[in-house]
Amino acid sequence: MTAHRLGVEIACDGPDVAHDCPASAAVLARFGSRTAEQVRADGRSDGWVRRRRDGRLVDLCPTCKTNP
């Protein structure tokens, strides 16, 4: 039997550092997306953003990116 990597999941880091995403959102990866960069590109086409928070990059869904 051979194991194959199915890909990666990018989940929302929530509206701020103290709160989780209320929708527990994750990027819906397309069939051909295999790497984190490809999945993030899929998310950007769906309205996701990547921002710096507290010295690190976070992924925010369309709902959380509009909250302060």
Residue with tokens 């989940």: 11
Angle CA(43)–CA(39)–CA(47) in degrees, nearest 5?
5
Arithmetic mean of pLDDT over the chain: 88
The b/e string for 33-62 (b: 16+ C-beta within 10 A; e otherwise) is: beeeeebbebbeeeebeeeeeeeeebbbbe
Note the pLDDT tens digit of each residue in 35-67.
Answer: 889 999 999 999 999 999 999 999 999 999 986
Closest CA to 25 of 7, 46, 3, 4: 46
Give pTM, 2 decimals: 0.81
